[in-house]
Amino acid sequence: MKKSLVALAALAVAGVASAQSSVTLFGVVDAAVSGYSTKSNLIVANPFAIPPFGVPGSLKRSQTALSNSGYNSSRIGFRGTEDLGGGLAASFWLEAPITNDDGKGGISNFARRSTVSLSGGFGEIRLGRDYTATFWNDTVFDPFGTNGVGSSAIFRTNVNLASVHGGAPNGAAGSDSYVRTSNAIAYFLPPNLGGFYGQFQYALHENVKSDEVLNSPSKRGRYVGGRFGYANGPLDVAAAYGIDTKDGAPLPGLASGYSKDELKTFNLGASYDFGPVKLFGEISQVKDAYDRNQSLTLLGLPFIYTQGLSDKYNGVLLGATVPVGPGLIRASYSQVKFKPDSALVPLNFYNDGSARASQFAVGYVHNLSKRTALYATLSRISIKNGQNNSIMGITTGGSPGYGTIAGQTYAPKSATGYDFGIRHAF
């Protein structure tokens, strides 16, 4: 009886599979022993003043952990394609993050990707949750692929920036509309354009329009972006631009309404494979365009003064990979400079309100097979004037953060991290 049931189940699975061109179960399990450390320095407002007695000049924190996703992101997924005939195909992709280091995160959601598509000679129309158009260049043109302690300063700053602004509505993650966006409608160019490729993406904010709320509906959660590139032989180059709307809390002094805030991202990346070495490069700029609202009084009458401001985060990355037998050496240098709007620059000669974060990373991957690899990565971050903007207080990962003492000001100064791990793909 049991054998008959097993046979019937096998026939049922075969029947489902035969109705589609392909159905694939895939995934990655990646684990590493990782170390993270940070250092913050005491900041005295007046550089000529004597530091307070008994207060340490610097604070250090460190953490050792068994981490995941140091080389590739741990995940499990299902994807399939059905041939509809006439050059048309329907496909789906459901991909979930997993935390194999502690086993707590399994297939509870498909937050990495959940899309359904229709493709043909016209290209592809893709609906659902996916990478944003502007994130692709940050990961494709990073030798470390935005994984592990080697992830670039550009990636880490952008994650902080998106997280500080908070997630989109309906329970999205803090970095949503940077790495990924939900509720997206996307179009991809067909692959037969002589090496040219591209996409356009529009993510719905899904907020409710209310007559009783000023400027309703809030556009918070909306993303609009596009990417266009050319890949042929050893060359790959692409440019992307996107606007992530982060409209915030009601305007001061008003019972309702929304404060305008947009993250406008442009990046340009390229790689060229010379054979003995593959070079990577990227330039990036994020403009944080927002309204500063102040309650003022004129002739005894209160009013709201709204001033449009724009802070800038300018990033650059240079990197390389060098194949060595069954292995690969990886290295990168990245830097992000923060420049506040001119209206926010302090009126003193020793601090112009700017900040800078620089990162150097080096690593080695040893491939035991096509699916299994050992890896080691080391990364170092240096920060200048981190007290001017907490977003620039990037780390190499983990959760040590930067030390501080109540009543004192400490600025992020440096961070170090390492990964020693194994990755298996299936």
Which pLDDT score is estimated for 416? Answer: 98
Q: What percent of the chain has pLDDT over 90?
A: 69
Does the pLDDT of residue 258 top 60, yes or no? no
Residues across the chain: 426
Contact 260, 247 (CB under 8 A): yes
Report residue 203's pLDDT band, with 50, 70 and 90 as the boundaries: very high
Which pLDDT score is estimated for 422? Answer: 98
pLDDT (average), residues 39-43 = 94
Q: Which has more confidence, 74 or 341?
A: 74
Which pLDDT score is estimated for 375? Answer: 98
- How confident is the prediction for the chain on average, in pLDDT? 88
Extended strands (E) in 154-257? 180-188, 196-203, 223-232, 235-245
Report residue 105's pLDDT band, with 50, 70 and 90 as the boundaries: confident
pLDDT (average), residues 46-68 = 87
Q: Decide: helix, strand or coil at residue 83.
A: strand
Neighbours of 314 (CB within 10 A): 16
Task: Output the six-digit token pair for 109.
Answer: 């959601």
Which pLDDT score is estimated for 359? Answer: 98
Q: Alpha carbon of 376 to those of 13, 85, 144, 328: distances in Å?
A: 41, 47, 11, 11
Which pLDDT score is estimated for 16? Answer: 46
Which pLDDT score is estimated for 168? Answer: 47
Report residue 313's pLDDT band, with 50, 70 and 90 as the boundaries: very high
Q: Alpha carbon of 419 to those of 28, 66, 67, 266, 414: distances in Å?
A: 17, 9, 8, 31, 18
Does the pLDDT of residue 17 top 50, yes or no? no
Which pLDDT score is estimated for 176? Answer: 77
pTM comes to: 0.88
Report residue 221's pLDDT band, with 50, 70 and 90 as the boundaries: confident
Q: Which has more confidence, 212 or 355?
A: 355
Which pLDDT score is estimated for 204? Answer: 94
pLDDT (average), residues 406-412 = 91
Q: Which has more confidence, 214 or 281?
A: 281
Q: What angle do CA 146, 138, 187 make, to 5 degrees?
A: 120
DSSP summary character for residue 386: G
